[in-house]
Amino acid sequence: MWIYEKKLQYPVRVSECNPRLAKYLIEQYGGADGELAAALRYLNQRYTIPDKVIGLLTDIGTEEFAHLEMIATMIYKLTKDATPEMLKAAGIEDHYVNHDNALFYQNASGVPFTASYIQAKGDPITDLYEDIAAEEKARATYQWIIDMSDDPDLNDGLRFLREREIVHSQRFREAVEMLKEERDRKKIF
């Protein structure tokens, strides 16, 4: 069960109406390495992972939904009240004819989200290595979006999200270390 706090994890500011940036950001919304894929991946894998790392997957999976909400807010603000002409100029008229200004789970090229973006192999090391890779891929994607963006307020939020990928990657790496640990030769902290 979840408790919902009606606020964003980090404030989302957008300087100007810019549908083209929304087109890039949708990669982190419904793309292979996006926040939806991350949340669903972790919250699903946690059932079949050793007890001591279940909580980590729950925590990070939950936070990914908070990130998804931030990305949604960014996309919404970037396209809110944009006219069909503006969407056309930004190259997202194909989105408009299908969805109006609504958000949809798809990547920057318009490919709809699919469960095959995520995996649950049941082997704990395999799953955690996938999770580490997913965090690094999301970190890289944020870098390339920041490179394409000229909106300083938006980039501030994206930098925060990229920083969280770094921390999550660290925690997944620690989870691997916990599972590697030899019984009765416990490291003393």
Partner 1 sequence: MKNFTLRKTYHPYISPFDPCPPVREKTYYTPAQLYLGYQPQNLEQFSPKEALKAGTLWKVFYDPYYGPNEKRRGPYE
Interface contacts to partner 1, rule CB under 8 A: 10, 139-140, 142-143, 146-150, 152, 155, 159-164, 166-167, 169-170, 173-174, 177, 187, 189
Measure CA 186 to chain center.
34
C-beta of residue 134 within 8 angstroms of C-beta of residue 33: yes
**CB closer to partner 1, 79 vs 141:** 141
Query: What is the residue whose two structure tokens read 């603000």?
Result: 77
**CB closer to partner 1, 87 vs 128:** 128
Shortest Cβ 174–partner 1 spacing (Å): 6
Shortest Cβ 160–partner 1 spacing (Å): 4
**CB closer to partner 1, 23 vs 162:** 162
Shortest Cβ 113–partner 1 spacing (Å): 25
Query: Among 26, 28, 55, which residue's Cα sits nearest to residue 42?
Result: 55
Enumerate the H helices of the chain as residue ranges.
Answer: 19-30, 35-45, 51-79, 84-89, 93-99, 124-148, 152-180
Shortest Cβ 47–partner 1 spacing (Å): 26
Neighbours of 116 (CB within 10 A): 7
**CB closer to partner 1, 81 vs 147:** 147
- Residue 20 CA to residue 33 CA, distance in Å, equals 20
